[in-house]
Amino acid sequence: MSHDGVIHERLPDAGGSGGAGGAGGAGAVAVPLRWVIRWETQLDDAELDRIHEFLKRVFPNHPGGVQAAWAGSRPELRLLGFADGGSPDGGGPQGETAGELLAHIGIARRFIRARESGASVLVGDVGLVGVSPDRQGAGLGRRLMRQTDAVLTDLGVDFGTLTTGDSKIPFYEAVGWHVAPNRLHAIDLWNRRETFDGPFFIRPIRAPLTAWPTGDLERNAREI
Ligand SMILES: CC(C)(COP(=O)(O)OP(=O)(O)OC[C@H]1O[C@@H](n2cnc3c(N)ncnc32)[C@H](O)[C@@H]1OP(=O)(O)O)[C@@H](O)C(=O)NCCC(=O)NCCS
């Protein structure tokens, strides 16, 4: 995959749910998706507006509010999943971003620092994980996270990381992420230092889970 490429997702075989290649659990609907990767400097105003409208629907109660298409810090790139059928009414965006925006994720590479050893780990910090509200619970989130694995691999990071709330633990565990045992010191959405008290998830990408550092960690940045 190239970072600015477009991926027409191969649909899973009939009955192939549950595993990493599955479409999701009971009631999963195989929606053809086109995955598009956009670096932040490629996004024009119309695309940012479109993402903003999507994120406002997905995160109506985000504590920091979703600003002009981001919540904490701006990501480095977006992974966008579009319904792969074009604009139904013939209007709207054409080309690779045609069709309804159904899934979104933001990623920024950064270092997480282990306080005790001083070692730094290259991570792809993930945020703004969202599926269109009327499509949730049908396996799109699982497919989004599978594509995210591919992007993180391509970005060459050792781990994926993300911070979330308790209600999302079952979802991230179902798609193969692990709750890290560390205490995480970070910068909150209002630019104050914080000790994050929600679940901090990690996903081994180039390094094994056993390589994750122990003890207190620092993310010297806001969440995505
Ligand atoms: C979280 C979100 C991205 C998940 O996407 P989704 O399309 O609804 O999830 P899926 O249908 O692909 O579910 C994937 C797996 O997670 C499991 N899962 C999801 N939510 C769950 C829950 N609350 N409890 C238990 N399992 C859950 C599903 O059962 C499924 O497992 P299975 O395939 O083995 O059946 C989506 O619901 C969403 O956008 N929510 C609002 C925004 C949000 O909270 N984002 C996360 C912020 S960090």
CATH number at residue 27: 3.40.630.30
Domain range enclosing 178 = 6-218
224 within domain boundaries:
no
Per residue in 171-206, pLDDT tens? 999 999 999 999 999 999 999 999 999 999 999 999
Give a yes or no: residue 223 inside a domain: no
Closest Cα to atom 7 of ligand 1: 141
Contact, 78 vs 104, CB < 8 A?
yes
pLDDT tens for residues 98-122? 999 999 999 999 999 999 999 999 9
Query: Ligand 1 pocket: which of 58, 171, 175, 202 to mutate (most atoms <8 Å of CB)?
Result: 171
Would the pLDDT of 7 be above 80? no
Q: Are 205 and 160 in contact (CB under 8 A)?
A: yes
Q: What pLDDT does 14 receive?
A: 35
**Helices then strands (H, E): number in the chain?**
3, 11
Whether 28 and 139 have beta carbons less than 8 Å apart is answered as yes
Residue 30, pLDDT score: 77
- The answer to pTM > 0.85 is yes
Amino acid at 157: V
φ, ψ of residue 144 to 5 degrees: the values are: -60, -45
For ligand 1, residues with CB inside 6 Å are 18, 24-25, 58-59, 129-131, 136-142, 164, 168, 170-171, 174-175
Q: Are 89 and 99 in contact (CB under 8 A)?
A: no
The tokens describing 83, both together, are 């319904």
Q: How many domains is the chain built from?
A: 1
Q: Taking a C-beta distance cutoff of 8 angstroms, is the pair 18, 25 a contact?
A: yes
The whole-chain average pLDDT of the chain stands at 89
Can you give the three-state secondary structure of 68-104, one letter per residue?
CCCCCCCCCEEEEEEECCCCCCCCCCCHHHCCCEEEE
CA of 140 to the centre of ligand 1 (A): 8
Q: What is the pLDDT of residues 124-140, one digit of tens each?
A: 999 999 999 999 999 99
CA distance 33 to 58: 18
Count of Cβ atoms closer than 10 Å to residue 78 Cβ: 24
